[in-house]
Structure 1
Amino acid sequence: MFRLSRTVTLIASVGALSVASLFMAGNSDFRKVITTQPDSLELGGFVEADFPFISTSIDGRKLGPGFPKENEAARTLAIRLSDSAYVCFDTDLLRWSVAWTRSFMPMNLMAQVSYSDFFNKSNKLATIGGVPQLATGSYAGWVALKGNAANFEVGAPKRDWIPLPAGEARWNGVYTHGNKVVLNYTVGQTPVLELPGSTSFSGQTAFTRTFRIGSSADALGLVLAEVPNAKRVEQNARFAYIYQGANLDTVTAVGLAGKGTRLMTTSVSEKGHLKVRVAPSSKDVEATVIVWKGPARLIKQFEKAAKATKVTLPDVQKGGPAYWKQDVVTRGVLSPDTAAFVTDKVTLPLPNPWKRNVRVADVSFFKDGRAAAITFEGDVWLIDGIDRSLQNVRWRRFASGMHETMSIEVVNDTIYVFGREGIVRLHDLNRDGVADYYENFSNVMSQSPEGREWAGDLVHAPDGSFYVAKGGSLSNGPGMTPQVAKGFRQGSKHNGVVLRISPNGREAETIATGLRGPYLGIHPQTGVLTASDQQGNFVPSTPIYVIRKGDYYGVSPTAHTDENPPIAPPLTWIPHHIDQSSIAQAWVISDKMGPLNGQMVHFSFGRPGLFRVLVDSTSQGIQGGVSVIHADYPAPTSKGAVNPADGQLYVAGFNLWGSNSKGLSALLRLRYTGKPSYMVSQFEAGKQGIVLGFDSELDPAVAANPENFRVKRYNYKRTEEYGSGHYKLDGSTGEETMYVSAAYVSPDRKKVLLLVPDMKEVMQMEVDYQLAAKDGRKITDQFWFTINDLDELTPAKHGFEKVDYNLLTIRREASAAQPKEVASAEKGKQVFQKTACAGCHSEGTRTKGMYGPPFQPLYGAQRPLEDGTTVVADDEYIRESILNPSAKIVKGYNPEMPSFQGILSDTDIESVILYIKSLKK
């Protein structure tokens, strides 16, 4: 069950050539293998035979008669106890959620289904794959009793998806030691180490729980199992039995083994809870509890096995043997210095000795320039040898088993990882290059098992605290909580919020709410916090926010309040066709990145690529804009960090959710070459127009010609529908073309003042320009920005002189009439590519990695709909799908397409229809 393998085709972003040098840790005599990267690679299974756990959620509500019905957990360790015995330990409630035998778990969760089927988003709920033996309900597994209390009651099921209060109990972390794990937690004030295990007798599997319980003035209570269909109970000082079945032929039993059990007593509640009480003790207690379900006729054999059971906890504080004793060395691919910014490829460690997939989601740096990367499959890799040439990059596996991890931070050379289990701090106790202790630094943020409630992002603040972003509980996946709005499920109380986590990890403070899918950025010196959000229901297009405490950002299902707070505006909006899926931001705190020094960079997953973010300060606040950092991005760009050694920005990303790129994953270095940059470097929007600054000097004759600028504006509408069309300021559909009355060039020839009549506050403005630099380089590009507030322009501060504002009252004559647009299939293909349709729809028959149905063969076909009806894909259907995409949802797809109302002209739409028709041939 743990030896699944599959041959898959890799995407070219892993690099055309790699050097794989494999060697034993600490041994300088190693075998060097240089191979050309193969066209295909054999991947092992998601679950690895030689690593003892994975982190997962679990749905144990349908285990069958004799098991609790209220049994679900968002955060568990699924632990392999033997070749055919397993347990899920709920780290929020400190309980064995379910223990079972035979097969492990079907790989149903998002990171699992997409592990080798790269674009598979059809995740299901996590369940066991074998035969359940023991289970508890969704209540506390341990209870701290006051003094020497004789008995304790089992609490009511918890459905709030938050851990037990730290004063009652706290999960501290897990030690790994070969094929074993030791759980570390605190009950009340009492430290507990637990070694879960299994043993066999008479063809039966029994489960062992070996404890080292610290000294305590209070008694402790432990719930081992719940058997709601109990028929008879027997118990004595050392054993307790619950009989089931019409003939009482099945029994669930607990036995005590070892000297420490003299402080333990067993009991059974009226509701069928199998329990153990631990008496107070002035010394540490080590004892083993053995639990079993099986034929009642084997009770004597069980008792004999319990008395013979002797289990010793390993000395885990000294660390365990390394799981991965080889490094992988790869050769990077340097880009030629063809522009100011280029991307070098840090080739991923594929293939590797463990046949492990490597989908890098984030990267962070140690003080000396070494890096740590996190993968979506829950692995941490350490990276050395990152120098100018990238010809000897050394990768070492450091940690594994974590749950859909997308963020990593190295703080004072210590690694912190954020996943669904919370923030994990990793420790290499014996300094063999592999983590031995996965410490729960913080799990105070709530987390539901909903498939789309991502543990989105983690950033470290200058004051030592952390900020985390939690995804909203989107409804386009298997649901475990009720649907509360279009596109949203109830999820946890922290879904769709930004939280501040205290420096000790023990407290969480809600900073901002009302987000759909936020990702973060933070200035490492000033602590300015930013976030993006994902276009979708209640989010009309891509925003970038400056996060302020108490702000609400407009997604009502994640407001977490009954009030109706005002919606805080973004720093800037970005049009959907420019960035249809945004991720994080990074500040380039460096003196080696030329024009980007000190600048904010925004990451686009969907485009993919990076944007330079500019800020315009007004008397009322701030507003911003973005321009593309043009370079080669072979895979989605998600997150990144500046390397303190070389001062360059490193960018990680992997593919899954729909991107214009089909690359699987990449780790890139955005490198400044020293060549001229022609990007917009500053902007100011005011009542008289727009000031744009550039990195390079412009040809003044070209820049002073207003015909070389095209300006338009439009608003979005925030509704429960997915995304938004474009709307004029009067509310009608469409975009407004603005007149540039005059263009002025500053004395330093790096700035242009555009006089634009009728400037207004608006959600989106675009400036298209066709200019030339002083060196003759043609500059054709765009700048997108938002106007939240309008002040009077002050041209003098930019060096502009003799500006004639009277020109604002003169409407410039339009240039020669443009020829009437004619619809064509070729134009339709251009629209398909320009408006980012290609990120969701295939021109052929491909469905993997696509959010929408393929276009071939589409026209004229019968389309089965989610409501059970069918429709013919004719002109009318395609037009409606473009303008009102939620009207008819094709079966098997989610309503995740924005309206192109006001974006595409009638000719555009007719052209798209012609293009789709042409694909039928």
Structure 2
Amino acid sequence: MLSLLALATVSHAQQQSDYYRIETYELPKGVNFEASGLAVTSDGKLAVALRKGEVWIEGKKGFQLFASGLHEILGLAWHDGALYATQRAEVTKLRDTDGDGKADEYLTASTGWGVSGAYHEYAYGPVFDAQGNAYTSLNSSMGKAWKGAGDESTHPLWRGWVVRTTPAGKLEPWCAGFRSPCGIGQDADGEIFVTDQQGNWMPTTPLFHIRKGAYFAHAESIPDAMRPESPVKIAAKQPDGITVAEAMKAVQGYTPPAVWLPYVKMGQSGTGIACDKSGGKFGPFEKQLFLGEFVLSGVNRVFLEKVGGEYQGACFPFVDGLQCAALALTTLPDGSLVVGESNRGWNSKGNRPFGLQKIVWTKQMPLEVQKMELLKGGFRFTFTLPVDKASVDALTGQSYTYPFQSKYGGEELDAKPIKITSVTLSEDGLVLDVACAELRTGYVHEFELPKLKAKDGTPLWHRMAYYTLNRLQE
């Protein structure tokens, strides 16, 4: 059912395919297979939601249509024996009760947010926690006002929010400040994270750790935060034109991202989230997060740690060369990473408008930074293979912050070289400790590693690493 993607013959692609190969699914003929949501059923079957309102399930004879007639599905989940598809105005529970392979039960599982018909009013998810609560992330309306009509004029919109729906069906506003929270997923511990996309109040792609009452900067969600039922406690106006580092100190309730993904260097539009819980079937990145990248048609990697009780961490390039934009991610029981693709609405690298691919570890171990941790006065790089001491040369780095502003996007601000005072490789070659003269909170710390080689001669695959430092180690 799968055919190997013919990768480009450039050296980078050849090196990538040594470690992770990209396979392309054969899809139903005549179907615009814009894969916008992915889930795996309890018996290991891949379910795929299409943007135009259909759900297909993989079977022995290829993909079979399971459900249709929904409105712009942008997320799919398997929970408690059913598929849950997020469409514009609701999350719909889909079941096949008579066993004929097609859904015959369409039930509203979550609803209650406002939908005006504005172009950008997308809804994503759902994600279920251990208690069965469903979380849905809602796009901002992008500034288009809606007065409503009749009773709807007083209906809570919750645009730019994540909302939670209890198992009893009660909708609860949960956290706010999103622009276009396209990716929503969980880490290995069940904590929920969201990716957003560059624009006003979002200088580049962030990865947010969501929790009740948090606020993540996008001002369009402020009016609903003033409602009495809102758990978010912030001021009715916020500064415009300061830096993120300043906003962390001055803006009431502001919660910075756990990780910033620097613009272009790490892509341009973050999307779906998947966690590697394969027990090593996908390589040396167990329990780390993988994030889809839309414009550059790839997947990035994130390592998270807790410092001062809050998540922060580092991002790294991972795989590029997909046939078009990565939109949705999930993992299969064999450990492979499935990528749903569609370039609808925006341009992306690649030669296809839509599709479905999966990334498979070849079992060959790359030399990579397995994790990057904050120390007192520096950073620790842990590698996947022992590094040859003779290849250790000078590191270079810089730190910078971003603007906190209503203006679209934002450049790197207050950039300064990182003064590195010492570099120490452990005896086993697996750990490189880098001491720095100054670390700055609210800043990304970017490093370019030297052309390291493993003791067996394997060259370092990716040399760039970007750590978002919100808190110092005590």
Q: 1:596 to 1:384 in 2, by over 3 A?
A: farther
Residue identity opposite 2:182 in structure 1: Y
Kept after mapping to 2: 8 A contact 1:381/1:399: yes
Pairing 1:535-554 to 2, within 5 Å after superposition: 535-554=198-217
* Unpaired runs of at least 5, structure 1: 1-329, 386-392, 483-489, 729-734, 793-921
- In the other structure, the counterpart of 2:73 is 405
What is the deviation of 1:534?
Answer: 1.1
Q: 1:467 to 1:556 in 2, by over 3 A?
A: same
How far apart are the structure 1 equivalents of 2:81 and 2:283? 27
- In the other structure, the counterpart of 1:345 is 24
Matched, 1:710 2:389: no
Report the number of matched residues: 432
Pick the aligned partner of 1:781 from 444, 454, 463.
463
Which one has the largest radius of gyration?
1
Q: 1:491 to 1:639 in 2, by over 3 A?
A: farther
Residue identity opposite 2:423 in structure 1: A
Kept after mapping to 1: 8 A contact 2:74/2:124: yes
What is the deviation of 1:607?
Answer: 2.2
TM-score when normalising by structure 2: 0.85
Pairing 1:181-200 to 2, within 5 Å after superposition: none
Residue identity opposite 2:273 in structure 1: Q
Matched, 1:495 2:164: no
Kept after mapping to 2: 8 A contact 1:459/1:520: no
How far apart are the structure 1 equivalents of 2:412 and 2:2? 47
How far apart are the structure 2 equivalents of 1:619 and 1:525? 20
Matched, 1:532 2:158: no
- In the other structure, the counterpart of 2:114 is 446
Residue identity opposite 1:761 in structure 2: T
Matched, 1:767 2:447: yes
How far apart are the structure 1 equivalents of 2:271 and 2:156? 22
SS of 2:69's equivalent?
coil
Pick the aligned partner of 1:647 from 315, 335, 339.
335
- In the other structure, the counterpart of 1:371 is 46
Larger deviation, residues 433-442 vs 551-560 = 433-442
What is the deviation of 1:748?
Answer: 2.1
Q: 1:407 to 1:721 in 2, by over 3 A?
A: same
Q: 1:619 to 1:595 in 2, by over 3 A?
A: same
Kept after mapping to 2: 8 A contact 1:680/1:694: yes
Pairing 1:290-301 to 2, within 5 Å after superposition: none
Q: 1:473 to 1:665 in 2, by over 3 A?
A: same
- In the other structure, the counterpart of 2:3 is 332
Q: 1:790 to 1:653 in 2, by over 3 A?
A: same
Per-residue CA distance 1:397-426 (angstroms, 9 max, x = gap) = 111111111111122341111001301112
How far apart are the structure 1 equivalents of 2:17 and 2:69? 41
Residue identity opposite 1:589 in structure 2: K
What is the deviation of 1:573?
Answer: 0.8
- In the other structure, the counterpart of 1:700 is 389
What is the deviation of 1:761?
Answer: 1.4
SS of 2:424's equivalent?
strand
TM-score when normalising by structure 1: 0.45
SS of 1:586's equivalent?
strand
Matched, 1:740 2:420: yes
Per-residue CA distance 1:377-403 (angstroms, 9 max, x = gap) = 111111124xxxxxxx61111111111
Kept after mapping to 1: 8 A contact 2:162/2:175: yes
Pick the aligned partner of 1:572 from 244, 254, 259.
259
How far apart are the structure 2 equivalents of 1:668 and 1:461? 27
- In the other structure, the counterpart of 1:145 is none
Matched, 1:614 2:296: no
Q: 1:570 to 1:698 in 2, by over 3 A?
A: same
- In the other structure, the counterpart of 1:419 is 87
Pick the aligned partner of 2:412 from 722, 726, 730.
726
Kept after mapping to 1: 8 A contact 2:187/2:288: no
Per-residue CA distance 1:699-754 (angstroms, 9 max, x = gap) = 11222x2x2x22011111111100112211xxxxxx22223232111122111111
SS of 1:596's equivalent?
coil
Kept after mapping to 2: 8 A contact 1:359/1:654: yes
- In the other structure, the counterpart of 2:436 is 756
Residue identity opposite 2:212 in structure 1: K
How far apart are the structure 2 equivalents of 1:413 and 1:661? 36
Computed over aligned residues only, the root mean square deviation of the Cα atoms, in angstroms, reads 2.3
How far apart are the structure 2 equivalents of 1:698 and 1:632? 28
How far apart are the structure 1 equivalents of 2:335 and 2:391? 35
How far apart are the structure 2 equivalents of 1:412 and 1:524? 19
Larger deviation, residues 578-587 vs 332-341 = 332-341
- In the other structure, the counterpart of 2:242 is none
How far apart are the structure 2 equivalents of 1:610 and 1:360? 16
Q: 1:443 to 1:551 in 2, by over 3 A?
A: same
Q: 1:641 to 1:778 in 2, by over 3 A?
A: same
How far apart are the structure 1 equivalents of 2:288 and 2:110? 31
SS of 1:557's equivalent?
helix
What is the deviation of 1:448?
Answer: 2.6
How far apart are the structure 2 equivalents of 1:334 and 1:660? 15
SS of 2:284's equivalent?
helix
SS of 1:537's equivalent?
coil
- In the other structure, the counterpart of 1:791 is 473
- In the other structure, the counterpart of 1:581 is 269
How far apart are the structure 2 equivalents of 1:428 and 1:743? 59
Matched, 1:508 2:171: yes
What is the deviation of 1:662?
Answer: 4.7
Residue identity opposite 1:481 in structure 2: W
* Unpaired runs of at least 5, structure 2: 8-15, 148-153, 227-233, 236-251
- In the other structure, the counterpart of 2:356 is 667
Per-residue CA distance 1:422-444 (angstroms, 9 max, x = gap) = 01112334332222332222223
What is the deviation of 1:363?
Answer: 1.3
How far apart are the structure 1 equivalents of 2:123 and 2:307? 35
Kept after mapping to 2: 8 A contact 1:366/1:412: no
How far apart are the structure 1 equivalents of 2:438 and 2:259? 20
Kept after mapping to 2: 8 A contact 1:373/1:382: yes
How far apart are the structure 2 equivalents of 1:456 and 1:417? 9
Pairing 1:145-164 to 2, within 5 Å after superposition: none
Kept after mapping to 2: 8 A contact 1:624/1:786: yes
Q: 1:503 to 1:679 in 2, by over 3 A?
A: farther
Q: 1:557 to 1:521 in 2, by over 3 A?
A: closer
Percentage of identical aligned residues? 25
How far apart are the structure 2 equivalents of 1:572 and 1:677? 24
Q: 1:491 to 1:605 in 2, by over 3 A?
A: farther
How far apart are the structure 1 equivalents of 2:306 and 2:400? 21
Kept after mapping to 1: 8 A contact 2:77/2:125: no
Kept after mapping to 1: 8 A contact 2:399/2:445: yes
How far apart are the structure 2 equivalents of 1:616 and 1:440? 37
- In the other structure, the counterpart of 2:244 is none
Q: 1:663 to 1:763 in 2, by over 3 A?
A: farther
Matched, 1:459 2:127: yes
Kept after mapping to 2: 8 A contact 1:362/1:653: no
What is the deviation of 1:341?
Answer: 2.1
Larger deviation, residues 465-474 vs 393-402 = 393-402
Residue identity opposite 1:568 in structure 2: T
- In the other structure, the counterpart of 1:892 is none
Kept after mapping to 1: 8 A contact 2:124/2:184: no
